[in-house]
């Protein structure tokens, strides 16, 4: 089926009063407003919470990395530009004749810079497009009339290494300085630097319907890429060529980024958990472990499949693969509301320990960690390792289940097992009943994968 392609994320058609986002499935202003209100209900009385946008990161010389917003900042605002700060108040206050419980300071319009780097929202665009009533230029934060002494507590996390930008009178570093100057006038005000991450983890752990829609989109895009890569995989390809097929489909489907550096490890590289060099030429008798996820409108997928380069698993590879698959099934079954977060790991680990004993790779269950050395699950959302409390699971949580077995060369077992590295990972929605595998459209079993690899592309 031929599909229409989504237009790039949050591109402005114009900066007129009637400007619209050129996108139809972004999170709504009501979503972000509701998230701010949800945070406000958790804040202590007479407090404020301060959020900074992410810094712009330099790649080399005068070239910067593509900007990626602070997930908390985006979650609360929908704002995707740098050099901004949000201040949320527990109780409404009056600024410039406006009664409000939230302020946002954004980077100003700059026609000269916009020729080089694209249009900015500015004050009016932020007010119109994102629905904030009290919007100011970043430079306005200097000496802004916030009576900090009227508060008991300010919840704040200062950005890591805020950048200095040439010819910018209100870059992120300046915003931090402006804010510190204002706070210093109230030395008795308690500055709490630890509360916000915990509060945001409580909010972001359980996904709202709009978030689940974007997560599913990211997963579907990734699945399209995996299926094409699996069909095309063959001896003589390189790891980066396999990677390129999935990443092509990610961009084709509207993904702005990959959610994390792609892992495509062939042969012994499959036993390196976070291998990202991806330059090796693939041989027919090898496996390739592919761990990739497209990011769509801030939300990322995270999928892993391990494949035989020549299209057929060996007997030893089948034994390990089916053991990992059984462990994954056991872990997925525990993704139910009320269960402990680690229930999926404990279930998967038990299966793998028992299986490795039967195969003769270990002498006692306590040795299973030699070949399965990582946790089975993490939360998934705006970060690939998303924020969460790690308490009892709630319906609406999205988490991975990704057991693996890695037997590097030189391991204390029969040589026939050496070089086998297998991980299987899917993205699971926690419910009150049967867990939902959101990536079930991508085959998992040996028979299904070998059939897909035999298809023409």
Domains of the chain: 29-202 (3.40.350.10), 206-453 (3.90.230.10)
Predicted pLDDT at 169? 83
Q: What is the pLDDT of residues 107-126, one digit of tens each?
A: 999 999 899 989 999 999 99
CB atoms within 10 A of CB 156: 21
**Distant-in-sequence, close-in-space partners of 252: CB < 8 Å, separation ≥ 6:** 5
Predicted pLDDT at 23? 66
Q: What is the pLDDT of residues 145-175, one digit of tens each?
A: 999 999 999 999 999 888 777 778 899 999 9
Q: Percent of the chain beyond pLDDT 70?
A: 95
Q: What is the pLDDT of residues 168-227, one digit of tens each?
A: 889 999 999 999 999 999 999 999 999 999 999 999 999 999 999 999 999 999 999 999
Q: What is the pTM of this model?
A: 0.93
- Ramachandran quadrant class, 58 (left: phi over 0; alpha: psi -120 to 50; beta: rest): beta
């Amino acid at each position: 089926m031929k599909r229409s392609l989504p237009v790039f994320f949050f591109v402005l058609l114009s900066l007129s009063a009637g400007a619209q986002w050129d996108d139809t499935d972004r999170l709504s202003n009501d979503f972000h407003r509701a998230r701010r209100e949800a945070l406000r209900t958790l804040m202590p009385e007479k407090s404020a919470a301060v959020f900074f946008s992410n810094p712009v990161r330099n790649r080399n010389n005068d070239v910067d990395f593509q900007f990626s917003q602070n997930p908390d900042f985006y979650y609360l605002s929908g704002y995707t530009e740098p050099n901004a700060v949000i201040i949320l108040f527990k109780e409404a206050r009056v600024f410039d004749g406006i009664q409000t419980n939230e302020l946002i300071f954004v980077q100003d319009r700059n026609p000269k810079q916009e020729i080089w780097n694209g249009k900015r929202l500015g004050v009016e665009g932020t007010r119109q497009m994102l629905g904030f009533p009290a919007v100011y230029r970043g430079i306005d934060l200097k000496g802004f009339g916030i009576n900090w002494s009227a508060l008991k507590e300010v919840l704040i996390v200062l950005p890591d290494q805020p950048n200095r930008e040439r010819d910018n009178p209100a870059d992120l570093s300046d915003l931090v300085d402006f804010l510190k100057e204002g706070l210093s006038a109230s030395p008795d005000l308690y500055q709490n630097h630890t509360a916000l991450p915990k509060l945001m983890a409580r909010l972001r752990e359980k996904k709202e319907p709009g978030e689940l829609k974007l997560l599913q989109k990211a997963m579907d895009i990734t699945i399209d890429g995996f299926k094409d890569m699996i069909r095309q995989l063959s001896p003589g390809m390189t790891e980066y060529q396999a990677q390129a097929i999935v990443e092509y489909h990610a961009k084709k489907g509207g993904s702005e980024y990959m959610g994390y550096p792609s892992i495509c490890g062939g042969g012994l590289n499959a036993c390196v958990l976070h291998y990202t060099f991806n330059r090796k030429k693939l041989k027919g008798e090898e496996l390739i472990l592919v761990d990739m996820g497209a990011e769509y409108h801030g939300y990322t997928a995270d999928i892993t499949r391990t494949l035989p380069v020549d299209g057929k698993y060996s007997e030893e590879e089948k034994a390990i693969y089916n053991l990992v698959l059984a462990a994954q099934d056991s872990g997925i079954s525990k993704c139910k509301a009320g269960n402990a977060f680690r229930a999926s790991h404990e279930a998967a680990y038990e299966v793998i320990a028992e299986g490795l004993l039967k195969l003769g790779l270990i002498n006692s269950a306590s040795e299973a960690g030699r070949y399965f050395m990582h946790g089975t699950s993490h939360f998934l959302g705006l970060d690939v390792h998303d924020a969460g409390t790690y308490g009892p699971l709630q319906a609406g949580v999205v988490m991975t289940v990704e057991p693996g077995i890695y037997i590097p060369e030189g391991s204390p077992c029969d040589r026939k097992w050496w070089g086998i590295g297998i991980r299987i990972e899917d993205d699971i929605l926690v419910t009150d009943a049967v867990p939902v595998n959101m990536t079930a459209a991508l085959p998992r079993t040996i028979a299904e994968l070998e059939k897909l690899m035999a298809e023409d592309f």
